[in-house]
Amino acid sequence: MDKNLNTSSKRKLNCSDESKCFELLESILDGEETTGSREILDEKLAKCQPCFEHYHLEKVIREVLKNKCTKHMVPAELADTIRQKIQEIK
């Protein structure tokens, strides 16, 4: 897909079926690929600038979230203190 970076002048600037395309892009990013959907996506990204931009933006956002949203262990005494404060407020 990086080969498409230099062909943005060849892509159309408006998507004729944006909601359907975005559904396809997101399903593929979610790992819900169906037979032939990857080929359809590659073709779409080569021809449609809004889809190309949405795909890459969505991909970057997901990578950032994946890297930043990690589970951290909370000390037991901190958790207990928070629970106690919540009970006091109720």
- Report the pLDDT value the prediction gives residue 3, as an integer from 0 to 100: 44
The pLDDT score that the predictor gives to residue 2 is: 43
Among 9, 6, 8, 3, which Cα is nearest to 52's? Answer: 8
Query: In terms of residue numbers, what domain contains 43?
Result: 2-89
Q: What is the tens place of the pLDDT at every residue in 61-83?
A: 989 988 888 778 889 999 999 99
pLDDT at 15: 84
3-state secondary structure the chain: CHHHHHHHHHCECCCCCHHHHHHHHHHHHCCCCCCCHHHHHHHHHHHEHHHHHHHHHHHHHHHHHHHHCCCCCCCHHHHHHHHHHHHHHC
Position 70 scores a pLDDT of: 78
Q: How many domains does the chain have?
A: 1
What stretches in the chain show pLDDT beneath 70?
A: 1-9
